[in-house]
């Protein structure tokens, strides 16, 4: 994907996880993309915190279909990611710190 076309576009980050019963749980975060020197940052709409969109994630960004716009907070694009609890004694160097907190 040409990252330059993402500049100033609206992106929803859709996080998928499992609740304590093992059922799917989902949360949507909204922000604006900013492309600077070929790097893509997502600026969270409510807190203005920045998250670098790593190269592996860029190929996962999809254009939002009209029928999904409302559920995805009227974003132009969306990315679906999974998350979960970290195991004990984990090497944090293998993970990306984000500005996202499960509600």
Q: What is the number of domains present in the chain? A: 1
Report how far residue 43's alpha carbon sits from residue 15's, in angstroms, rounded to the nearest whole number: 16
Residue 42 has pLDDT above 90, yes or no: yes
Q: Is residue 46 in some structural domain?
A: yes
Q: Is residue 76 in some structural domain?
A: yes
Q: Is residue 72 in some structural domain?
A: yes
Q: Is residue 12 in some structural domain?
A: yes
Predicted confidence at residue 89, as pLDDT, reads 87
Average pLDDT over residues 74-79: 98
Residue 101 has pLDDT above 90, yes or no: no
pTM for the structure as a whole: 0.88
Report how far residue 52's alpha carbon sits from residue 32's, in angstroms, rounded to the nearest whole number: 12
Domain that holds residue 19: 3-84
Average pLDDT over residues 5-15: 97
């Amino acid at each position: 994907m040409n990252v330059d076309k993402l500049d100033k576009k609206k992106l929803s980050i859709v996080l998928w996880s499992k609740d304590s019963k093992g059922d799917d749980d989902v949360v949507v975060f909204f922000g604006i993309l900013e492309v600077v020197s070929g790097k893509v940052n997502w600026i969270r709409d409510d807190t203005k915190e920045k998250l670098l969109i790593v190269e592996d994630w860029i190929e996962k960004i999809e254009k939002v279909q009209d029928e999904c716009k409302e559920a995805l907070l009227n974003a132009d694009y969306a990315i679906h990611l999974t998350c979960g609890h970290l195991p004990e004694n984990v090497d944090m160097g293998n993970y990306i710190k984000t500005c996202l907190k499960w509600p």
